[in-house]
Structure 1
Amino acid sequence: MTMNSNAANFQFVTFALGDEVFAVPVTVVREILDHEEAFKIPHGPDYLLGLRDVRGQGVPVIDLRLRLGMSPTVRTPHTRVLVLDIPIGERTLSLGMVADKVFEVTPFHRDAIDDAPDIGVRWRSEYIEGVVRRQGDFVVIINLARLFSDGGAAIASAAAAAVA
């Protein structure tokens, strides 16, 4: 996603991890599903929960809370899986990302998106595309390509090994 587009608004899907609100570009969200247990993959990264069948495709499912250094997701009736198609270089990484709760698709005006803060957050700031102030709180926009560019190979190889 590039923030220097001529469009005044960018559309995002907002979701919660604990009490914090995050967002990803709507353009990478294929669908939102109810949470189901994933087929376990041995020797994968700790945040890789396993594989899930999404319309005939084996899609790796990750616990974003673990990937960001938070406590593991505790499943509730609100827990959802966002199925994402993330462009990384010349390929597309398809994965399911567990969220505690999905809120809405919402526009953010590009002028309202601040750069990632350098300090004061518990996750690594290079994974943050930007921050939006909304209703007295913050929404953190995640840079999915950066978040999964290093882990993408591990996810893909673990998924391929499980299918083989």
Structure 2
Amino acid sequence: MTVNKEESQYVTFALGKEIFAVPVEVVREILDYEDLFRIPNGPEYLLGLRDVRGQGVPTIDLRLKLGLTKTEPTANTRVLVLDIPLEERTLSLGMVADRVFEVIPFRRSQIEPAPEIGIRWSSDYIAGVVRRDEGFVVIIDLARLLSSGDTALLSSRYAA
């Protein structure tokens, strides 16, 4: 199989009307939403722990992390189970999305740098944006989205 260095695969998902993407290589699996084991005194965006094949995986509401309204689960709500490479380790994390669409390839030439103004979120954790007929797809840099304090909290305090 030939690997195309000019193209990368992404999983696209929605939060409200906005479309986001993460690299397919960090997505371990996509699960239906279910109630979670609530963790007392955790940050608001931390919904709780989810059992994923015998591992307790902390699960976040990405909408809250981005400053949007809390997710109201529907039949389309999914949890992306991610393995996010950090400097010294891999962080396993569940991330709630309103709906998951598809795996789609983006050519490097399609990915534009994050604009400094004109979007609702801080550009610090945006790896790039891709223009599509329906609008933009925002590619999230998960390691930058989760501050070092977040990753320490999620990986040590709630490790199974």
Say yes or no: TM over 0.5: yes
Aligned-partner Cα distance in 1 for 2:23–2:119: 21
Q: Give the superposition deviation at 1:13.
A: 0.1
- Aligned counterpart, 2:85: 87
SS at match of 1:23: strand
Structure 1 moving runs of 4+ over 6 Å: none
SS at match of 1:103: strand
SS at match of 1:111: helix
Segments of 5+ residues of structure 1 without an aligned counterpart are 1-5
Q: In 2, are the aligned partners of 1:44 and 1:158 still within 8 Å (CA)? A: no
Q: In 2, are the aligned partners of 1:21 and 1:140 still within 8 Å (CA)? A: yes
* Alignment pair present for 1:152 and 2:151: yes
SS at match of 1:121: coil
- Aligned counterpart, 1:77: 75
Q: Give the superposition deviation at 1:8.
A: 1.1
Q: Output aligned runs, 1:8-23, within 5 Å.
A: 8-23=6-21
Segments of 5+ residues of structure 2 without an aligned counterpart are none
SS at match of 2:146: helix
SS at match of 2:35: coil
Q: Give the superposition deviation at 1:115.
A: 0.4
What is the one-letter code of the residue matched to 2:153? A
- Aligned counterpart, 2:33: 35
% same residue: 67
Q: Output aligned runs, 1:79-118, within 5 Å.
A: 79-118=77-116
Number of aligned residue pairs: 156
Normalising by structure 1, what TM-score?
0.92
- Aligned counterpart, 2:128: 130
**Structure 1 residues 13-51: Cα deviation after superposition (integer angstroms, max 9, x where no partner):** 000000000000000000000000110011111100000
Aligned-partner Cα distance in 1 for 2:122–2:43: 18
**Structure 1 residues 77-112: Cα deviation after superposition (integer angstroms, max 9, x where no partner):** 000000000001020000100000000000001000
Q: In 2, are the aligned partners of 1:38 and 1:52 still within 8 Å (CA)? A: yes
What is the one-letter code of the residue matched to 2:27? V
